[in-house]
Structure formats: C-alpha cells, structure tokens
Chains A and B, each alone.
Chain A
Amino acid sequence: KAGVTQTPRYLIKTRGQQVTLSCSPISGHRSVSWYQQTPGQGLQFLFEYFSETQRNKGNFPGRFSGRQFSNSRSEMNVSTLELGDSALYLCASSTSGTSLHHEQYFGPGTRLTVT
C-alpha cells in the first residue's frame, strides 16, 4: 500500500504571496490532519478533515485554511505569507471514524521557505 504523499516537497515563496500544499492519504483513510513543524515551536496541529468536513482546528490565524475533496485528498492554503511561516508542513492520515482513535501515518512533508 502506498504511503501518504505530499506535493511539492520543497517550495520557496516571497512574503505576501500565497501557497497551496497538497496531501494524498493512504488508500482507505478518510481522515487527514495537518501539522506545522518549526525548530522553535516543534510540531503544532493545524486542522483535521474527515469526509470533506473540518472537524478540528488548532490555534493558527485565519490565513491558514484547508479543504478536503471527495477522494480524501486534502489541500492547505496559506495566504499573505510571513517569514515566520517558514516550516516543514506535515500531513497525516488515519482510518479515524466517529468513535475510535486510530494510528496516524505521516507523509514526508513540504519544506516551505518564505523570503
């Protein structure tokens, strides 16, 4: 079974631009979560989607948004980029349904650099 894939793997953007990152979950997984990893803050939860609905959201400004498609693929968007948005963005998928909490599998990440 193919793992979680993320595209692009590396990205360089300028302050003020916007960016869209993509995540394809493991086949059969319907839950996709996004995390931001920085040296100073570590791994922080952004949001989670299940069946095209955002079920949970972390403490990030509204510039960070996401969506999920009917095939469970997910995108996250960051508008008006700031230097502090430079980070490794990781997505994870799981089989999480409405009750049980399942193991999360992570993709390789997208390294975003904002200049």
Chain B
Amino acid sequence: KQEVTQIPAALSVPEGENLVLNCSFTDSAIYNLQWFRQDPGKGLTSLLLIQSSQREQTSGRLNASLDKSSGRSTLYIAASQPGDSATYLCAVEVANAGGTSYGKLTFGQGTILTVHP
C-alpha cells in the first residue's frame, strides 16, 4: 500500500527566504507526482506535475525534483512571499493491483507554510 509522507508538517519563515519541502513515498512504481497548494477552506491548485520519466519541473519561483529510486521529491520555493502562505500537498499516482490507476492520487498530509513579512 502506497504511503506518502511530508516533512516538515509546518514551517514558518521570514519573507525572502528560499525553502525546501520534502515528500517521500513508499512504492517507487509511480506514474507521476503532483504538487498542490491549498488555501484554507478552498480547493487544490495544481503547481507542478512530474511524470515518472522526468527528474524535475520548474514554474516561476517553484522547482520540483523527483527521485523515483529513493522515493523522494522536493519542492523548492525561491524568494518566498507572504502570498505563498498555504498548505502544500504532494500526491502520487500509482498503479493498482490490476495495473491501472485511473485518477487515484495518494496524498501526503501536507506542509503548512507561513511566510511572515
């Protein structure tokens, strides 16, 4: 059974710092890994999708890396801003017993990020 763990559970940093969020997963047979952001009481916003054949993806100040063999991904946020404050979730898409996946994402518990001015 796939398990996803995110460390740290919470992080508070001053504005302008570069930071790293960690995600680990137990089953390396993943199809892809996706990072999301969730604001309080809201839905999820997709940040980056890394296919299993890729090593990293970048979007603006965000960079996500994937190491399937070690079951790890990191999300790097450069020059953090107060508007980055949110919960960050990573999720993996893994095949089920039948060799398919079809929409099943397994999520970590998230990292609550607070960036203070």
Contact = CB atoms under 8 A, between A and B. Distances in A.
Partners in one complex: yes
Nearest to B101: A101
Given A45-B104, A55-B102, A92-B103, A104 B34 contact: yes
Interface in B28-44: 31-32, 34, 36, 41-44
Chain A interface size, as a band, is 20 to 34
Contacts, number: 70
B111 to A, nearest CB: 12
B29 to A, nearest CB: 13
Interface residues of B, number: 27
A59 to B, nearest CB: 10
Interface residues of chain B: helix, strand, loop or mixed (majority): strand
B96 interface: yes
A interface secondary structure, majority: strand
B46 A96 contact: no
B100 A55 contact: yes
A108 B40 CA distance: 11
B104 A33 contact: yes
Contacts of B34: 103-104
Ranked nearest first, the 6 interchain pairs of A and B with the lowest CB-CB distance are: A48-B103, A33-B103, A106-B44, A55-B102, A43-B107, A56-B102
6 contacts: A31-B103, A42-B108, A56-B101, A94-B103, A96-B103, A101-B93
